[in-house]
Structure 1
Amino acid sequence: MAMIAATKSSLSFKKIINTIDNLKPVSGRLEQVGIIKNNSKVILDYAHTPDALEASLKSLREQFKYRRISIVFGCGGDRDKAKRPMMGKIANQYCDRIYLTDDNPRHENPKTIRNSIRKNINKSKIYETSNRANAIKKAIFAMKTGDILIVAGKGHEKIQEYKKIKKLFSDQEQILKNIKIKNKTLSSNLKLNILKELSNSNNISLNLEINNASINSKVIKKNNVFFALKGKHKNGNLFVKEALAKGASLAIVNNQKKSKKKIVVKNTLKFLTEASSILRENLSSKIISITGSCGKTSLKELTGRSLGKISQTTYSPKSFNNKFGVPLSLFNLKKNDEFGIFEIGMDKKGEIDYLSKIIKPDVGVITNISYAHIKNFENIKQIALAKSEIIKNIKDDGYLILNRDDKFYNFHKKIALKRNLKILSFSLKNKSATTNLDSISKEKSKYKISININKIKKYFYLTSFFENDLKNLLATITIISIFKDIHKLDKNIFYDHKATNGRGDTMKVKLFKKFFYLVDESYNSNPLSLKSALKNFDMIKVDNSKKHVVLGDMLELGKYSKKLHVEIGKNINKTSLTNINVIGGHVKWIFNNLNKNKRGIVIKKKSQIIDLIKNNLNNNDYLMIKGSNSTGLNSLSNQIKRGKINAL
């Protein structure tokens, strides 16, 4: 309203914008007082009527939806007595903790006033004391990271009235005095404060430096915090000594003795998850969360690297998308990050719900729905339903981005509309999508990709035009468009992006005195990703060279395994690919359904793949390797890249 008034008074809008930062709140009117190192906030407000108190508390609850809100207040004497139980009810509705104390009792008995207020307050929430200074002190010292405290009723007033006595008393001075004392018990490192608060560890130095978190003692760096997690095969508690020796500033452990560098908790994973969730709520970073049957990691990488060129951004490494990787990645957000980008995986119902509740994304993305992990579901619709769990945990007024070409687009859109989320989409074909492909042309070694976004044309350069690369480009542009002006982005911002290891990256390898190109698709395999990989490989143009394929099993397909492997065989018959070699039990269904001219050999052990390279590949030939991670083909591909074939 002030900006409109200033504009109507002939001030330039640019000048108004530049002035906003210099404005200060009116004293005692929803005024933040002081700065607390653990990101908790004390708000001073003059609200002393039911309407005013509700307006203030409602505003705070809307702004800090997931934070604990406490209040210090009372009611004045010799005034409207009917408002007292009403104000108690309002405080009870919006606040997690209530410090009931005296306001200006004047000529009334302070105890009588407080009794009237507390009629509508839950006993479990209330702390009562007549001494207002003690109430403020108690409330401030109880504040944990991110908590909100409102001290209401007196605002800017400098006196307190008891009968005929008017004594000097300022809420603001009491708040500032106690914040100063409290800050001496806190670290300037928000993460350290969270860890100390959660564990009640008073023996840990406030000067300890903490950067990132790690669960791997082999790669830990100086000033990292080591979380000793228990997995199926390894117990991190056995590697604490190694982590500390390598420079870890702190270790979170269980079943060990406390020390200045160890915090002992019952469950290290639960502790990490709680700490990460608290940190998420206390950073202003916009969180983008990606799920789907395939393409999560490659989309996260493209989005993370691209946003990282224009803003401070943290994104989860590799495929850190489970109950270990998600909280670990979240804890590694930095204070000044504008964006955090995380992927969420699942193989069972409820897992995405659990993980997305921790992340609370501002933007959710569902890449596609396929038969990945179908063994734990009755049908593909159940997979779509499990992926939709992310939708209910996107923040209010948040965004959902969907693949317009996916057959479950309308299904997911309908769920999102019930939450009034903003829905954006991307598509290779559908012109009604928010972001869609317009045309592709080649300019020397570059591919010029023209897109339409919100019906305006823009183009960018890529090194390839494979289908999955195009989808990732469209999805990334859609994500960025929420926060940035797409039309100001450099046309080469995506050009230097390289495929993630094991997800289509191509490398020239020298073995047995010859060069060949390894197209590594070995990180994982499901029907959708395999069809895409085969289509991409088929598109590669070669002159006198040959293409060879090694396929491993698609796993976790349950009762659908035979049907889906057979479909892949029939799909390959429609391509120009030949020399299809297979290794594994399920993948034989592909081989048996291939035309004879497309068949290579059935490989019984991985060392035969090296024989295949040695005997069947010529100079400048191409070899694509694809299979589920558990087949071991990813490890083999990495060894081939490093030339460590003797290990095979």
Structure 2
Amino acid sequence: MLKWNANNIIDATGGRGEGVCNSVYSSNISTDTRSIKKGDLFIALKGKKFDGHDFLHEAFLKGAVAAVVSEDKYRNFPLIIVQDTLKALHNMASYYIRNILVNAKVITITGSVGKTTTKDMLNTVLLHYGVSHVNEGNLNNNIGLPFTILKAPEDCQYLILEIGMSRAGEIKELSKISNPDIAVITNIEPAHVENFSSLLDIAQAKLEILHGMKNNGTLVLNKDNEHYDYLLSNANRNVVSFGKNESATVCLLELIRDDNGLNLKIKLNSGQIMNCNLPVKGEHFAYSALVVTAVLQSLELDLSKLPLALENFTVTEGRGNVHQAKYNGKLVHLINDSYNANPTSMKAAIRTLGTYSNLRKVALLGDMLGLGNESIVFHTELLDSIVEQNVNKVHTVGKFMLELNKLLPENIKGMHFDDSNQLKSNLANIVQGNDVILVKGSHGMRMDLIVQEFTIEY
């Protein structure tokens, strides 16, 4: 990684030095004095509840060699003074991409559902082709994404950046920083709709990913999504499509489930047919495999490595992992999809639960948050999926899931709880040996606390 010094920080940010010399500072940048290390460069970010400038003394006591600040009253320290420290972080990330990572192909991924899984699957595959770097965890916002860029090795060949969004305008800024060669929009679905008036508004916001894209870049779109035509008509870029639609550039011809996961037959627009195996249960993972195939094709990489690479994919914990687990000595099948939820991902998880046809299927469902005025509707609409998939028992958590609980047939209706801690206290009355148990809800519902009560066998 680049060794930052006064000259290149000033070049990147347009700031001015105060008490600094051009000795090598550090390749490591920190914004948190709790984790800062000797030799780090400290950036004093300002937030709604904190101001990094209040911790400058602590940062230098712990060994910071210099700090990027927006206030020049701290004359006793080596400083780079800028107008806005968050903008400076963004400018440094942009500088790093355009001046250091010049040989890296940048792939940005956004969408309502499936961003993280697609990002992780793509990284798993691209590691078979070269040096790949990707967001850690869910670092996909206006702080996490630039940090991901700044941590990329200088010999990086593939930089994969997940871009999240809760409001219009956010993706535009992150795209301008990233300068992508390839951008992916996985789909347009109800998520964060409380901040948008319609799904079309969400689609418009997702198209902001084009703002920083190279002029010869490629946009990868889901042809099965109802907003495909709108996205295509506004793309003004080379477009590669994926989906079950037979005219898609990368088409899923066939999907067969067995005990080892999913068997996919994928057809390319060249007529080539590929057979791939995914070691996962949920059919929705097939779409991530289609995106990966489309990206590899756009990068003009040898697709013969793809089947073996996909077999090495493992699901990020909390995103639909299936485990053999124990609770109070009872062996169960645990589907851990506790990280987050929206209507589309919730229905997909219920379909995965439904594949266990010979076992008792139990769903522990927490509220889906961020759905605005339609929250109750989105929750009660889950009833059809639950009945269709022959779920045996549904226990619910939260005020919106209460509305679903009221509609459940008596033979399916389980207990309702105000929060996950209440459910956790009642697990002994819920779990039976050899159950298949789905745990899912929005991040704020802390359904991960339920998962922690189980002992994972493998």
- Could you tell me the TM-score, scaled by structure 1's length? 0.64
Contact 1:258 1:264 in 2 (8 A): no
User: 1:445: which partner in 2?
Assistant: 260
User: 2:169: which partner in 1?
Assistant: 350
User: 2:182: which partner in 1?
Assistant: 363
Higher relative contact order (CA 8 A, sep 6+): 2
Match of 2:98 among 281, 301, 306: 281
Counterpart CA distance in 2 for 1:336 and 1:570 is 50
Query: Secondary structure, in 3 states, of the residue corresponding to 1:201?
Result: strand
Q: Which moved more, 1:355-364 or 1:245-254?
A: 245-254
| AA partner of residue 184 (structure 2) | V
- Once the two structures are superposed, residues 180-226 of structure 1 have per-residue CA deviations (whole angstroms, 9 ceiling, x without a partner) of xxxxxxx9736764314333327445443533434344455665544
Compared with structure 1, are the counterparts of its residues 585 and 241 closer, same or farther at alpha carbon in structure 2 (3 Å cutoff)? same
Q: Does residue 640 in structure 1 map to residue 437 in structure 2? A: no
Compared with structure 1, are the counterparts of its residues 485 and 355 closer, same or farther at alpha carbon in structure 2 (3 Å cutoff)? closer
Contact 2:394 2:414 in 1 (8 A): yes
Summarize the alignment of residues 282-321 of structure 1 with structure 2, pairs less than 5 Å apart.
282=99, 283-284=101-102, 285-321=104-140
Query: Secondary structure, in 3 states, of the residue corresponding to 1:569?
Result: helix
User: 2:291: which partner in 1?
Assistant: 475
Counterpart CA distance in 1 for 2:416 and 2:261 is 38
Match of 1:534 among 345, 350, 353: 350
Query: Secondary structure, in 3 states, of the residue corresponding to 2:428?
Result: helix
Compared with structure 1, are the counterparts of its residues 246 and 640 closer, same or farther at alpha carbon in structure 2 (3 Å cutoff)? farther
Stretches of structure 2 lacking an aligned partner (at least 5 in a row): none
Counterpart CA distance in 1 for 2:263 and 2:63 is 47
- Once the two structures are superposed, residues 362-409 of structure 1 have per-residue CA deviations (whole angstroms, 9 ceiling, x without a partner) of 111111111111112222111112212223432101100000110001
User: 2:273: which partner in 1?
Assistant: 457
Counterpart CA distance in 2 for 1:403 and 1:583 is 33
Q: Does residue 612 in structure 1 map to residue 429 in structure 2? A: no
Match of 1:399 among 198, 218, 222: 218
Compared with structure 1, are the counterparts of its residues 259 and 532 closer, same or farther at alpha carbon in structure 2 (3 Å cutoff)? farther
**CA positional deviation for 1:492:** 1.6
Query: Please, what is the CA RMSD of the aligned residues?
Result: 2.8
| AA partner of residue 615 (structure 1) | N
Summarize the alignment of residues 196-207 of structure 1 with structure 2, pairs less than 5 Å apart.
196-197=10-11, 198=13, 199-201=15-17, 203-204=19-20, 206-207=22-23
User: 2:86: which partner in 1?
Assistant: 269
Compared with structure 1, are the counterparts of its residues 353 and 575 closer, same or farther at alpha carbon in structure 2 (3 Å cutoff)? same
Match of 1:598 among 412, 421, 432: 412
**CA positional deviation for 1:488:** 2.9
Query: Secondary structure, in 3 states, of the residue corresponding to 2:395?
Result: strand
Counterpart CA distance in 1 for 2:126 and 2:227 is 28
Compared with structure 1, are the counterparts of its residues 339 and 535 closer, same or farther at alpha carbon in structure 2 (3 Å cutoff)? same
Compared with structure 1, are the counterparts of its residues 510 and 354 closer, same or farther at alpha carbon in structure 2 (3 Å cutoff)? same
Query: Secondary structure, in 3 states, of the residue corresponding to 2:221?
Result: strand
User: 1:322: which partner in 2?
Assistant: 141
**CA positional deviation for 1:602:** 0.8
Contact 1:477 1:486 in 2 (8 A): no
| AA partner of residue 202 (structure 2) | I
Compared with structure 1, are the counterparts of its residues 442 and 217 closer, same or farther at alpha carbon in structure 2 (3 Å cutoff)? same
| AA partner of residue 546 (structure 1) | R
Compared with structure 1, are the counterparts of its residues 583 and 209 closer, same or farther at alpha carbon in structure 2 (3 Å cutoff)? same
**CA positional deviation for 1:503:** 1.1
User: 1:105: which partner in 2?
Assistant: none
Contact 2:417 2:423 in 1 (8 A): yes
Matched residues, number: 450
User: 2:191: which partner in 1?
Assistant: 372
**CA positional deviation for 1:333:** 2.8
Which structure dedicates a bigger proportion of its chain to helix? Answer: 1
Compared with structure 1, are the counterparts of its residues 593 and 265 closer, same or farther at alpha carbon in structure 2 (3 Å cutoff)? same
**CA positional deviation for 1:629:** 1.4
Counterpart CA distance in 2 for 1:444 and 1:585 is 37
Contact 2:260 2:280 in 1 (8 A): no
Counterpart CA distance in 1 for 2:75 and 2:383 is 59
Counterpart CA distance in 1 for 2:311 and 2:76 is 50
Compared with structure 1, are the counterparts of its residues 389 and 490 closer, same or farther at alpha carbon in structure 2 (3 Å cutoff)? closer
Contact 1:192 1:210 in 2 (8 A): no
- Could you tell me the TM-score, scaled by structure 2's length? 0.89
Match of 1:558 among 350, 369, 372: 372
Counterpart CA distance in 2 for 1:569 and 1:640 is 27
Counterpart CA distance in 1 for 2:323 and 2:57 is 39
Compared with structure 1, are the counterparts of its residues 436 and 217 closer, same or farther at alpha carbon in structure 2 (3 Å cutoff)? farther
Structure 1 or 2, whichever has the larger Rg, is 1
| AA partner of residue 485 (structure 1) | L
Query: Secondary structure, in 3 states, of the residue corresponding to 1:501?
Result: coil
Stretches of structure 1 lacking an aligned partner (at least 5 in a row): 1-186, 644-648
- Once the two structures are superposed, residues 476-512 of structure 1 have per-residue CA deviations (whole angstroms, 9 ceiling, x without a partner) of 1111111243433152201121111221123444443
| AA partner of residue 277 (structure 2) | Y
Contact 2:45 2:86 in 1 (8 A): yes
User: 1:630: which partner in 2?
Assistant: 444
